[in-house]
Amino acid sequence: MCGIAGYISSKKLQDAAMLSCLHHRGPDHEGSYTDALQNKQLFLGHTRLSILDLSADGNQPMFSDNKQIVIVFNGEIYNFQELKKKHLVKENFHSKTDTEVVLKLYEKLGIDFISELNGDFAISIFDKQKDKLYLIRDRVGVKPIYYLHDSEKFIFASEIKSILAAGADTVLNEDEILNYFVFKYSPQQKTLYKNIFRLPPASYLEYTVSKNTLSINNYWQVQKNNAYTNLSYSDAKDCLFGLIKDSSEMRLIADVPVGNFLSGGLDSSIIAYFIKDRKDILHYCARKSENDLKKEGTTSDYYYAEKLAKNWNLNFSHIDIGSEEASVEMIRKTLFYSEDLIADGSQIPSYLITKDAAKTSKVILSGMGADELFLGYAGHMLTLISSQYLDKLPNMLSNSMGSLAAKVNQGKGKFLAYRRYIHKMGKYSRYPDYKYALFNIVGDFDNSCSVYNGNREGVEEMMTNYFPKGKGIFDSLFHFEMENFLVKNLHYTDRMAMANSVECRVPFLDHRIIEFAYSIPRNYKLTTSGKFKRILKDTFKTQLPDYIVNRRKAGFGMPLRSIFSNRKTIDALLDQNFFAGFTKFSIENIDKIIDNHIAGKEDNSSIIYALISFQEWYKMNFK
């Protein structure tokens, strides 16, 4: 994994500053290419994190033999050796990298070569003869790429800070503020920086240099795969086992040490199973205090991870996370690296774990994505209960049941997690079909909307578009989560890992596994009897201990409910005078949200964290 940046502009921009901003993404080598063409300045830059072929032969930019094609590339192509044998057997190579394979594939096959890649990538290819510059992003959005385009210039980079360093104006996108508070990030392809966009996953951008025009083209969409749709449950389990095994083994390709996130949950334990005989691999886990776990109402990941590590004799390391880590300094540090603002309590532990892992590993595996693919979140069960049962009851009865459920206090008492879910389902049970999105977003929708006077109708319309009449609810939800919530998770994972110069790989998000998960029936994944990730559990129940397969799920992240359990801590982190300086923020509603949270009537920890994060992010970027 690396950092890439570039521009085509009517004047020279701050290219050295652009690369300096990306040094953490690639501390091993820095390279660039400049050219003057058609009265325009062209720059392509690369910061390298050496993973394959550690020699200078792997440095970038790389050039075609005729010097007419230039590539800068961030990521890994896991099937590059297979593609090399398939298409390039007669070619001469100067390195042992996947980058050179990508370059030669483009030369031979044109832009359509990307459909054959299995990997995580953000690629820029400049083709001088065709007058084209391409940006290409992997199918799921594991690797980031941003761009800015106006009448004078086109700028792109792995991170927004690099675009700003080029000399772009820093302008707040006020239209996205409400979206941020609802979703705890900016959904789809917009950002909180005006005129700076994400390139969508599974897309390539084609920029014509002479005309200063661009188009964005989709090259893959997840669809039902006939090879999987009619599988029996037994055959589906066999197929899934083979897919995960192959994906996990492919992602071990490296000329540097590899590690693994071991949470003690099902997903990371499955990956650990396939690499447990590799004694050179170190497994890392976050550990929360007993006090924080009690206030959170969750179980200890560390307990299960340590037990599994002892059973399998794994090399195991832990890092403590807790209330003391939620300092302004740590929040600001993670916001600096994430920049495309995310309010997610998982960022700090992700940063801390990869900081520790960087001492011994340059690549780390993660079980991210399995919950979205195989229906492992509580919101998925709420969706099932609502769509299969509550929605079919007479209005009077369902309204009565919803009203009772909505009155459940979320913040205090026994069974905290269940209280939160029951309250959310009751409160939104009579909403239109976009309620299924509300069941699965972090925090309460109404409360999130109340802090900022934005375009609520626009937010509702965006969610409604994911749930058209006649389409299956879980098919709709799959696309909603894949295009939004999952991209957000991948975003913070990439940023926190790369802040410490560590590459994170996600075996469950191999596109073949995604197509498999989308194609099999819902009851293979989530049952009406309450079994989450059924096929994952059943596939690996003989490979994994029972205490892993049947344990209660615990979310990965900072213990926000514990941290925000008293007013003193909140007041030390949240500056309400800051929000009073904006016309559209409601100080009255912010106070109400905090009061109800402290009183235990509501769980508003995610909204409070979103407010603190916005406050610190704004101060860092808009002085």
Q: Are 89 and 44 in contact (CB under 8 A)?
A: no
Q: How far apart are the first and last CA of the chain?
A: 32
DSSP 8-state symbol, 377:
S
Nearest to 73 by CA among 156, 133, 1, 155: 1
Nearest to 195 by CA among 242, 148, 261: 148
Nearest to 285 by CA among 266, 301, 299: 301
Secondary element (H or E) of residue 203: strand 203-208
Q: Where do we find the tokens 């190579």?
A: 93
Q: Are 466 and 417 in contact (CB under 8 A)?
A: no
Q: Are 442 and 185 in contact (CB under 8 A)?
A: no
- For residue 112, give both structure tokens: 């359509």
Q: Where do we find the tokens 């390539």?
A: 204
- For residue 442, give both structure tokens: 């972090």
DSSP 8-state symbol, 551:
S
Q: Tally Cβ neighbours within 10 Å of residue 68.
A: 13
C-alpha distance from residue 448 to each of 136, 169, 400, 597, 605 (Å): 34, 29, 25, 13, 11
Instruction: Give the span between the Cα atoms of 569 and 504, in whole angstroms.
Output: 33
Query: What is the b/e burial string over 303-335, where b = at least 16 CB atoms within 10 angstroms of the residue's CB?
Result: bbbbebbeebebebbbbebbbebbeeebbebbb
Instruction: Give the span between the Cα atoms of 614 and 592, in whole angstroms.
Output: 18
Q: Where do we find the tokens 């901003």?
A: 21
Contacts of 284 (CB under 8 A, 6+ apart): 259, 260, 261, 262, 317, 318, 319, 353, 356, 357, 364
DSSP 8-state symbol, 139:
S
Q: Catalytic residue, from 2, 239, 449, 504: name it.
A: 2
- For residue 337, give both structure tokens: 């690296």
* Angle at 268 (CA atoms; ends 266, 271), nearest 5 degrees: 110
Instruction: Give the span between the Cα atoms of 581 and 603, in whole angstroms.
Output: 26
258-261 β-sheet, strand order: 315-320, 282-287, 258-261, 363-365, 503-505
Q: Are 18 and 160 in contact (CB under 8 A)?
A: no
225 φ, ψ (degrees, to nearest 5): -105, 120
Q: Are 52 and 22 in contact (CB under 8 A)?
A: no
Residue 294, amino acid: K
Tell me how many helices (H) and strands (E) the chain has. 30, 17
Nearest to 159 by CA among 30, 16, 23, 343: 23
Instruction: Give the span between the Cα atoms of 253 and 41, in whole angstroms.
Output: 37
User: Does 449 participate in catalysis according to the annotation?
Assistant: no
The number of angstroms, rounded, from the C-alpha of 357 to the middle of its chain's C-alpha atoms is 19
Which residues does the annotation mark as catalytic?
2
